[in-house]
Amino acid sequence: MKAMILGADGYLGWALSLRLLSRGHEVIGVDNFATRKSVKEVGSDSGIPILSMENRVRAVRDVHGYRMKFHRGDITSYPFIHKAIKEDMPDTVIHFAEQRSAPYSMINAKHAAYTLSNNVIGTINLVYSIMAVNPKIHILKMGTLGEYGTPNFDIPETPFVDARINGKLDRITCPKWAGSWYHWSKVHDTNNLLFTNRVWKTTVTDIMQGPVYGTRTKEITDEKLHTRFDFDEVWGTVVNRFCVEAALDLPLTAYGKGGQTRGYLSLEDSVEALRLLLENPPEKGDYRVVNQFVELLSINEIAEIVKKAAKRLGIDAKVEHLENPRVEAERHYYNPEIKVLPKLGFHRKLKMGDLAGQLIKDILPYRSRIRRYKGAIMPHTNWRKVDNAR
Amino acid sequence: MKAMILGADGYLGWALSLRLLSRGHEVIGVDNFATRKSVKEVGSDSGIPILSMENRVRAVRDVHGYRMKFHRGDITSYPFIHKAIKEDMPDTVIHFAEQRSAPYSMINAKHAAYTLSNNVIGTINLVYSIMAVNPKIHILKMGTLGEYGTPNFDIPETPFVDARINGKLDRITCPKWAGSWYHWSKVHDTNNLLFTNRVWKTTVTDIMQGPVYGTRTKEITDEKLHTRFDFDEVWGTVVNRFCVEAALDLPLTAYGKGGQTRGYLSLEDSVEALRLLLENPPEKGDYRVVNQFVELLSINEIAEIVKKAAKRLGIDAKVEHLENPRVEAERHYYNPEIKVLPKLGFHRKLKMGDLAGQLIKDILPYRSRIRRYKGAIMPHTNWRKVDNAR
């Protein structure tokens, strides 16, 4: 199949490019390198060094013999994305080209506006390009389980649900409550995409993914092929951050009481799930919602897992509970369904407990590099504080 | 009170400016004149001629003796709106500064992206400016009843509702299903504003208004004080368009079967309701939702009302049912609550049946002006067709 990956330079985008190439798919990468710039903006960098895209493309050829095409550009420009899709005629467009950090979106007015506008408009331009070129192209869109917040109902894998409201039954869009501008931008995307499905019968897989962690996939066999690895308070997800803290002999910084529960998965499991969804698209005109995670864990449970893994490596990690900079429930019900991926044959390879030790070991060689950005690990971005000076 | 009106040059914005000035409030108008430009873009113009803002401000002083302040600028620029709010320190900001046409938003990718970005980012900049200057400022925001679509439940005047979903009870944001990018932009605004209320305790009145019609308010006593009056397929709401069609001896262009029911109100009633909401703000930190309309009518009922009113003026209007260019239910349940405004003492002045004749008469002197834009009356914008060439 011919797959275009928007955001191919990113954490998932790069790892998925390698997976799809290894499966014999044609891969066309697209990126504007915004993440590289935005991570530097907050005084940080990828903890594990990565090559430039030019050299990545070369390394893929040298190491594995795969050819990968790449376009540099910004999908918030309609002419750019329209031209790319018209030129390459992909079967599937995988859309990762969104600002993906919740704290970054909460920094101030500028970052909020950038996140909302970049994410919403990019998706709009993508859909219009597809409608102009070939309405049958499958859109594989990265959403987030965070779109739902932490509801009292079981999170289904359907865009609509039956609900009884003041005694009347109706079919409604599945309720969402997001916790940051980043998360809201994904809710807006979902609503917008559902609308295009209704009026234009677009073919969409909307992936509600939990936080991803890890450094490796089967194809990352050479350091030239590393994918980026973020660990700071703005760009690092909690597991990667905890492992970096353990590797650096820093306390694990848990926010609030630590009861916040989410669905986690490893980079390898994420990439494999995405491959399955790409190779098994929904019917033309269908809108498929997929909950993508492999285990539900609380912050406290993750801290324990990382602590134990560190101990086996001779590191005595402590957990420090910081005042929660975010506005979120710290004890709550959480039960997302997971039926679509298993039906496609998905089995998780790794649990966090099996992988955490390896992850810490992978970080150890880069400790001195990461220490340069130590100041970026502790939380600076506070949900309750509006700081337009920053 | 000190009121800043974003979109003061618009249909409602100008009429409300006059109402608030007549009540002794200080009024600071803000506009970027986007509507004037966008109406010209689709080959149309205000059916009733209006003065430039400079001359409007002068006319208000000459006719009524009121002084009105005005800033030209675009609220999608954070520095602009922040400066205006800091300089003028309003008690209330009335936010009408959004692209307000559903068909305009559906023209193509560019118009979709403009609508979503303009509306969402303007609102974000407004909230951040208020948080930076004075978090207690009351935001009176124009939403639309169209955010809900046509649900089977009774549309409440609360941002959240209790819902039973797959056997579990939860408190959810009131379900929405919008019918165009314009309507979705307002849904996104509502979600975003609700989030700011949760994290920052913003004080918001979110007005879910139905379509407004008419040319007059108490203060529009001189032709120099006219507010704009749009009638074309893109910018005119259905009642104003039907009355223009009657005045021009054209058939009334009803879309589809004509069972589409909405909550309508006259310009006078809209302006009076807005005044009441401004003078009776919610408690600080509260999020008040208001359904704003005075009567529920279907397209067919409106066509009958306009037909009868035309007949009394000796005009024999015919109704022509066109293929519906929109994607919407043409028969449906519709029952929005209306409790907030009556509690504040709101009584409707006019029903459509009483006003339609006057409205047609007000249009008659401008028939030859309006005929110049006749080509803009019939529907060109089709919801089902993506036309990126236009």
**Weakest mean pLDDT among B244-258, B279-293, B374-388:** B374-388
pLDDT at A100: 98
HSE, side-chain direction, 13 A CA sphere, residue B385: 11
| Interstrand relation of B160-165 and B168-173 (parallel, antiparallel or unpaired) | antiparallel
Gap from B172 CA to chain A (nearest CA, Å): 6
Nearest residue to B121 via CA among A194, A123, A115: A115
User: What average pLDDT does the segment A159-185 reach?
Assistant: 97
In a domain, B238, yes or no: yes
Q: Is A322 on the interface with B (CB under 8 A)?
A: no
Residues A153 and A160: their CA atoms lie apart, in Å, by 13
Q: What percent of chain A has pLDDT over 90?
A: 96
What average pLDDT does this structure show over B7-23? Answer: 98
B40 part of the active site: no
B contacts of A188 (beta carbons < 8 Å): 120, 184, 188, 191
- For residue B386, being part of any structural domain is answered with no
Asked if the Cβ–Cβ distance from A172 to B170 is below 8 Å, we say: no
What pLDDT score was predicted for residue B386? 80
Quote the pLDDT of residue B287.
98
What is the full DSSP assignment across A34-57?
Answer: HHHHHHHHTT---SS----HHHHH
The pLDDT tens digits for A73-111 are: 999 999 999 999 999 999 999 999 999 999 999 999 999
User: How far apart (Å, rounded) are the C-alpha atoms in residues B79 and B94?
Assistant: 19
Query: pLDDT digits over B137-151, tens only?
Result: 999 999 999 999 999
- Residue closest to A77 by CA, chosen among A6, A29, A180, A3: A6
A58, part of any domain: yes
**pLDDT given at position B273:** 98
Whether B110 sits inside 8 A of A156 (CB atoms) is no
- Burial of residue A208 (CB within 10 Å: 0-12, 13-18, 19+) is buried
Q: Which two tokens stand for residue A139?
A: 């859109």
Neighbours of A365 (CB within 10 A): 11
Six-digit token string for A45: 């960098």
Q: Under 8 Å CB-to-CB from A98, ≥6 apart: which residues?
A: A7, A118, A119, A122, A123, A142, A185, A186, A189
DSSP H helices, chain B, are 11-22, 34-41, 53-64, 78-88, 102-105, 109-133, 181-200, 238-247, 267-279, 299-312, 340-343, 352-363, 367-371
CA angle B331, B270, B145 (to 5 degrees): 35
Nearest beta carbon to residue B124 from set A113, A163, A177 = A113
Per-residue pLDDT, B389: 54
Report yes or no: B161 at the A interface, CB cutoff 8 Å: yes
Q: What is the pLDDT of residue B388?
A: 63
Contact assignment for B117 to A120 by CB distance below 8 Å:
yes
Spatial distance between the Cα atoms of B288 and B277, rounded to a whole number of angstroms: 10
A264 close to A213: Cβ distance less than 8 angstroms: yes
| Mutation to test the A interface, candidates B199, B287, B324, B390, most A Cβ within 10 Å | B199
Whether A165 has its CB under 8 Å from any CB of chain B: the answer is yes
Within 10 angstroms of residue B91's Cβ, the number of other Cβ atoms is: 16
Closest C-alpha to B248, from B149, B374, B347 = B374
Domain enclosing residue B101, as ranges: 2-376
Is A123 labeled as catalytic in the residue annotation? Answer: no
Q: Is B109 on the interface with A (CB under 8 A)?
A: yes
Interchain contact, A191 vs B195, CB within 8 Å: no
- CATH number, domain containing residue A147: 3.40.50.720
CA atoms within 13 A on the CB side of A287: 18
Residue B383 resides in a domain: no
CB neighbours (10 Å) of residue B335? 15
Reported as a single tens digit per residue, the pLDDT across B320-373 is 999 999 999 999 999 999 999 999 999 999 899 999 999 999 999 999 999 999
Residue pLDDT, tens place only, A117-130: 999 999 999 999 99
Across all residues in chain B, what is the average pLDDT? 97
- pLDDT tens, position by position, A13-65: 999 999 999 999 999 999 999 999 999 999 999 999 999 999 999 999 999 99
The reply to whether B51 falls in a domain is: yes
B379: part of which helix (H) or strand (E)? Answer: none
**Which pLDDT belongs to residue B381?**
86
Whether the ipTM is more than 0.85: the answer is yes
Residue A186 is among the residues annotated as catalytic for this protein = yes
Contact between B140 and B277 (Cβ < 8 Å): yes
Measuring CA to CA, how many Å separate B385 from each of A124, B15, B43, B109? 15, 36, 20, 12
- What span, in angstroms and rounded, lies between the C-alpha atoms of B245 and B318? 10
Cβ A228 vs Cβ A7: under 8 Å: no
C-alpha–C-alpha distance, residues B383 and B381, integer Å: 7
Residue A186 sits at the chain B interface (C-beta within 8 Å)? no
Beta bridge partners of A26: A2
328-387 in chain B: CB under 8 A from chain A: 383-384, 386
Q: Which pLDDT score is estimated for B126?
A: 98
Chain A CB contacts of B388 below 8 Å: 78, 82, 128, 132
Cα–Cα distance list, B154 to A158, A171, A207, B119 (Å): 24, 13, 32, 27
Q: Tokens standing for A74?
A: 């910004």
The pTM for the full model equals 0.97
Measured CA to CA, the distance from residue B334 to residue A120 in angstroms comes to 30
Residue of B nearest to A125 (CA): B109
- Tokens linked to B192: 């975003």
pLDDT at A158: 98
Asked if the structure places residue B15 within a domain, the reply is yes
**Domains: count for chain A:** 1
For chain A, the farthest-separated pair of C-alpha atoms sits apart, in whole angstroms, at: 64
Interval A234-277: pLDDT, tens: 999 999 999 999 999 999 999 999 999 999 999 999 999 999 99
B183-233 pLDDT, tens digit per residue, is 999 999 999 999 999 999 999 999 999 999 999 999 999 999 999 999 999
